[in-house]
Structure 1
Amino acid sequence: MNVSQFLQLLREHPEHTLTFVLSDGSTIPPHYHITEVGHASKTFLDCGGKGHRTESCILQVWIADDTDHRLHAKKLVTIFDRATELISDHELPIEIEHEAPVLTQLTISRHEVAADSLVFHLSHKHTDCLAKELCTPNFNIPAIPGTCSPASGCC
């Protein structure tokens, strides 16, 4: 889900709370706070030497002791409005940063509109080799399956 889609849902349902469902079916406690709206950029080389750049909008979730706190869609739109200079590209994917129990970045895999809540189902991000054409044909080290050949130029 990108920023534009996310904000459209928030604006269509301003009085709804937001519920975040983790991949194991549990939910982030409803008294969470959104402590950061950020624009994250990552520039890197894959193991084959090719350059890449990824960008996303990160919403940092923090659990406080004020168990009566609830975030409504209208309030999160206000927070986004303050971050306009940082989040000018509304096509950026939304990621949720949550400490559960270690700091994890999650993507929104799907959403539902319930009677009084916007329910966002979260998925874990996964790693992958971005230079498979260089690496995967070189599984020639039998003692360590899946290891790249030292002569292949990757790994």
Structure 2
Amino acid sequence: MKIKEIKQALTEVEAISFRLPTGEYLPPHFHVTEVGLVSKHFIDCGGVERRETVANFQLWEAGDYDHRLAPQKFLHILQLSEKILGREDLDIEVEYQQQTIGKFGLTFDGTDFLLTAKQTACLAQDACGIPDAQQFALPQLQTAGGCTPGGGCC
């Protein structure tokens, strides 16, 4: 999800709810404690220099059970964050405290904001010698005549 998409979604909902990949909802008294710009400048294992920049939202919950973040308030926070984010339509990454800080992608299903699982990957598989997934395909099994001891099919 990008910044423009969340701004639009916030105009369409009466209340904000976030759901984890497990289907579990964040408590309704969560806070958006940070909206920031995260830039990553790195070299992958194949020696290619790369840059990534995302808008980062940090969600947090505390004992403030009467707190509810209204969509208009979240929009206001996003408007204030333009000083840091600029006006670029960045991808959004969400941090949420679990056993450790989890990083999630974000989508919207028309009602709820869905925290989506993020995965690591090798960005230079060809340089690392990691074979294509097709090379892991199982060979065709011989099925003609059935499988018998010594028949060579097992």
* TM class by smaller structure: 0.7 to 0.9
> Who is 1:40 aligned against?
38
> Who is 2:115 aligned against?
122
Query: Displacement of 1:121 after TM fit?
Result: 1.2
| Alpha-carbon distance in structure 1 between the residues aligned to 2:129 and 2:7 | 40
Does the 8 A contact of 2:9 with 2:108 survive in 1?
no
User: How large is the RMSD of aligned CA atoms in angstroms?
Assistant: 1.5
Query: Does the alignment pair 1:63 with 2:56?
Result: no
**Given the alignment, which residue of 105, 108, 112 partners 1:107?**
105
| Alpha-carbon distance in structure 1 between the residues aligned to 2:3 and 2:130 | 38
Moved over 6 A (4+): none
| TM-score for both structures, normalised by structure 2 | 0.79
Does the 8 A contact of 2:9 with 2:110 survive in 1?
no
Q: How many percent of aligned residue pairs carry the same amino acid?
A: 34
- SS of aligned partner of 2:25: coil
| Alpha-carbon distance in structure 2 between the residues aligned to 1:88 and 1:3 | 11
Runs (5+) with no aligned partner, structure 1: 114-118, 139-155
**Given the alignment, which residue of 125, 131, 135 partners 2:124?**
131
| TM-score for both structures, normalised by structure 1 | 0.79
Per-residue CA shift, 1:38-77, capped at 9, x if unaligned?
0111010000110111111111111110112111110001
Does the 8 A contact of 1:106 with 1:125 survive in 2?
yes
Does the 8 A contact of 2:96 with 2:103 survive in 1?
yes
| Alpha-carbon distance in structure 2 between the residues aligned to 1:136 and 1:109 | 34
Does the 8 A contact of 1:2 with 1:90 survive in 2?
no
Query: Displacement of 1:137 after TM fit?
Result: 4.5
Which is higher, the Rg of structure 1 or of structure 2?
2
Which is strand-richer, 1 or 2?
1
> Who is 2:20 aligned against?
22
